[in-house]
C-alpha cells in the first residue's frame, strides 16, 4: 500500500507517492500562487495528489491516505489549519475540503512536525523512540517526537525552540523578545554575523569569495572561508557553533531525547560543523559524561522530509 504526502508551502506545493518504507516513488510540485481562496489551493493539492498516484502507476485503491504538512498551526484532530499568515489561512477546514475531491482519509500536521516524524521513522533518527529535529533556516524550527508520537502541545503550537532566550537582553527577535536562540542561530543570523565580520575585516577571504559584495555573503561563504583557514571566518563559525550549542543543551536538558537531528543548510557542512558542536554540547549538558549521550546527527531526508512525514501521518492517528 502507498500513502500520498503533500508538503504545502507559501511558494510551492509538493506531493509524492510514498511506499511503506518511506521511499518516494514519484513526486511533483507546482507553485502555490498565494492570494487565492483556500478552496482553489486545495483543489490544486487534490489534482497534484491524483497526478502522483496515476503517474506512479497506482490507483486510488492502492492508496491508504493523504497526509498534508502545513506551515503554521494545524489541528490534526479536526484537519483544520488554524492559522498561517503566509497564505492568509485562518480556520481553513483543509481535510474536509480535500475530501470533496478525493475520497481518502486525510491527515494534517504542521510541516516541521512532518519533517521530524520522517527523520524519526525513515531518516537519521530511525530506530529511536524520542527525537528532536531542529532546522536552522530562515528561523529555527523544531519538531518533537516523544515515545514514538509527535508532541504538539495542547494547542498544536509546541516546538517553537527558536524563541527560547539564550542571551537575556540580547538581539531583538521578530517575536518581540530579545535574545531568542533564532536571533543567533538561524541561517539568517549567521549570514548577518558573517557580513558584519567581513565589513569590519576587509582582508577577510569572505569578501573576495563574494566578489566584494557584502550582500553576497551568507552562511555558506563563512563556512567556505573558515575551511580555508580565514581567521575572521573561523571566529564567526566558532561563535555560531557556540550559539547553536547553547540552545541544543537547553533542549537536551529538558527532554533528553535519544537523538537530535540537525536540518537546514548547516547540516551539509558535515563533521566540520558537527564535531565541534558535539564537543560543546556534551561538555555543557547536565550530568556530563555520567549520563548516556543524546546522539547529534545530520538530517538525511532534506527537502523530501516534509512529503515523507506527511505520508506517514496515518501511523500517528489513533484507531
Half-sphere exposure of residue 99, counting CA atoms within 13 Å on the CB side? 15
CB of 212 to Zn ion, least distance (A): 33
Nearest to 39 by CA among 88, 107, 5, 108: 88
Q: Tell me if 295 contacts Zn ion by CB under 5 A.
A: no
Q: Tell me if 172 contacts Zn ion by CB under 5 A.
A: no
Per the CB < 8 A criterion, the answer to whether 319 and 123 are in contact is no
**Closest to Zn ion by CB, 177 or 293:** 177
**Closest to Zn ion by CB, 145 or 180:** 180
Q: Tell me if 173 contacts Zn ion by CB under 5 A.
A: yes
Q: With contacts defined by CB under 5 A, name the span among 27-35, 146-154, 162-170, 238-246 that binds Zn ion.
A: 162-170
CB of 250 to Zn ion, least distance (A): 14
Q: Tell me if 163 contacts Zn ion by CB under 5 A.
A: yes
What strands lie across the sheet with 24-31, from one edge to the other? 24-31, 12-18, 2-8, 63-70, 106-110
Residue among 1, 96, 146, 175 that touches Zn ion (CB under 5 A): 175
CB of 142 to Zn ion, least distance (A): 13
**Closest to Zn ion by CB, 126 or 163:** 163
Q: With contacts defined by CB under 5 A, name the span among 15-23, 86-94, 112-120, 168-176 that binds Zn ion.
A: 168-176
**Closest to Zn ion by CB, 173 or 222:** 173
Cα torsion angle, 222, 160, 173, 34, sign: positive
168 three-state secondary structure: coil
Three cell numbers at 192? 548577518
CB of 170 to Zn ion, least distance (A): 10
3-state per-residue secondary structure call for 254-299 = HHCCCEEEEEEHHHHHCHHHHHHHHHHHHHHCCCHHHCCCCEEEEC
Q: What is the binding site for Zn ion (CB under 5 A)? A: 163, 173, 175, 177, 180
Amino acid at each position: 500500500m502507498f500513502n500520498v504526502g503533500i508538503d504545502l508551502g507559501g511558494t510551492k506545493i509538493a506531493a509524492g507517492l510514498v511506499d511503506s518504507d518511506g521511499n518516494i516513488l514519484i513526486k511533483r510540485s507546482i507553485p502555490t500562487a498565494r492570494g487565492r481562496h483556500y478552496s482553489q489551493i486545495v483543489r490544486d493539492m487534490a489534482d497534484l495528489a491524483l497526478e502522483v498516484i496515476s503517474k506512479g502507476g497506482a490507483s486510488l485503491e492502492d492508496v491508504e491516505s493523504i497526509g498534508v504538512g502545513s506551515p503554521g498551526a494545524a489541528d490534526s484532530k479536526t484537519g483544520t489549519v488554524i492559522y498561517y499568515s503566509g497564505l492568509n489561512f485562518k480556520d481553513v477546514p483543509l481535510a474536509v475540503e480535500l475530501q470533496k475531491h478525493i475520497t481518502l482519509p486525510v491527515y494534517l500536521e504542521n510541516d516541521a512536525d512532518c519533517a521530524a516524524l520522517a527523520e524519526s521513522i525513515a531518516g537519521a533518527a530511525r530506530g529511536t523512540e524520542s527525537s528532536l529535529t531542529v532546522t536552522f533556516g530562515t528561523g529555527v524550527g523544531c519538531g518533537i517526537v516523544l515515545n514514538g508520537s509527535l508532541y504538539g502541545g495542547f494547542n498544536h503550537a509546541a516546538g517553537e525552540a527558536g524563541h527560547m532566550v539564550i542571551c537575556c537582553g540580547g538581539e531583538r527577535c521578530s517575536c518581540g523578545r530579545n535574545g531568542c536562540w533564532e536571533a543567533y542561530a538561524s541561517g539568517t543570523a549567521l549570514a548577518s554575523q558573517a557580513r558584519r565580520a567581513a565589513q569590519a575585516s576587509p582582508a577577510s577571504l569572505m569578501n573576495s569569495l563574494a566578489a566584494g559584495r557584502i550582500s553576497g555573503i551568507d552562511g555558506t561563504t563563512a563556512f567556505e572561508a573558515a575551511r580555508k583557514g580565514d581567521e575572521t571566518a573561523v571566529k564567526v563559525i566558532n561563535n555560531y557553533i557556540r550559539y547553536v550549542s547553547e540552545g541544543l543543551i537547553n533542549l537536551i536538558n529538558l527532554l533528553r531525547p535519544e537523538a537530535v537531528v540537525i536540518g537546514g543548510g548547516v547540516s551539509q557542512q558535515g563533521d566540520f560543523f558537527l564535531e565541534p558542536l558535539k564537543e560543546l554540547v556534551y561538555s555543557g549538558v547536565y550530568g556530563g559524561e555520567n549520563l548516556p549521550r543524546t546522539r547529534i546527527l545530520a538530517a538525511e531526508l532534506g527537502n523530501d522530509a516534509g512529503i515523507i512525514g506527511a505520508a506517514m501521518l496515518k501511523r500517528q492517528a489513533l484507531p
